[in-house]
Structure 1
Amino acid sequence: MAIEVVPDWMKNLEDEDVVFIKSFVMASGSLKEIAKQYEVSYPTVRIRLDSLIQKIQLSEQTENEPYIAIIKRLAVSDKIDFDTAKVLISEYKKIIGE
């Protein structure tokens, strides 16, 4: 029986992100092929991939600060605006003494 190990950066992704990654791998990394599958333009797929890259980078940068990771994830996902995220992170850092 194989033990499933899911990397921390992947745990922070939404289901649709994981589906996109799988599609990307199955298309051998071809953004043109992904655009065709999703019936969207190449620039739309490029933006989606860039957003996903940001999410992964944020996850890796903030794995020691789960609160900050949550705030950044909400901002990248457009659930809160970046100005609000900056204020929340700044206030949090004041509280913890950074």
Structure 2
Amino acid sequence: MNREDVPAWILSLDKESVEFIRKFVINSGSLKEIAKIYDVSYPTVRARLDKLIQKIELHSKTEDVEFVTMIKNMVIDERLSLETAKLIIDKYRNERTDG
């Protein structure tokens, strides 16, 4: 598989997140097993999975245009706050629908 064939949501993940997914799959999706592996509580693993789901969903929306994707990447890279990104994206989308 070529890099350009890899979905954007996978490329947006850091190494830790990819490793978490790998362990999750290998352990048949058992959060209890993942909690043991990381030596943390079940709620901690659940919270981490929820955050990972949000990251994946963020990059899975096909209607996003290049500009919106760039803004989202800036949030993931922590160069822009989520609140600021939301304001920029909302303004951008409102102007596109008004114009």
- 1:62–1:68 Cα contact (<8 Å) kept: no
CA RMSD, Structure 1 to Structure 2 (Å)? 2.4
Q: Give the gaps of 5 or more residues in structure 2.
A: none
Query: CA–CA distance in 1 between the matches of 2:37 and 2:70?
Result: 31
> After the TM superposition, which residues 1-98 of structure 1 pair with which residues of structure 2 at under 5 Å, given as runs?
3-4=1-2, 5-62=5-62, 64-75=64-75, 77=76, 79=78, 80-93=80-93, 97-98=96-97
- Residues paired across the two proteins, number: 94
1:44-67 CA-partner distances (Å, limit 9, x unpaired): 110111111111111111564233
Query: CA–CA distance in 2 between the matches of 1:11 and 1:78?
Result: 12
The alpha carbon displacement at 1:15 in A equals 1.4
The TM-score with structure 2 as length reference comes to 0.74
Structure with the bigger RCO (C-alpha within 8 Å, sep 6+) is: 2
1:23-81 CA-partner distances (Å, limit 9, x unpaired): 10111111011111111111111011111111111111156423323433554x48343
Greater alpha carbon shift after TM alignment, 65-74 vs 12-21: 65-74
The TM-score with structure 1 as length reference comes to 0.75
Identity %: 49
Q: Give the gaps of 5 or more residues in structure 1.
A: none
The alpha carbon displacement at 1:10 in A equals 1.1
Write the letter of the residue equivalent to 2:69.
A
Seen in structure 2, the aligned counterparts of structure 1 residues 15 and 63 have a Cα distance that, compared at 3 Å, is farther
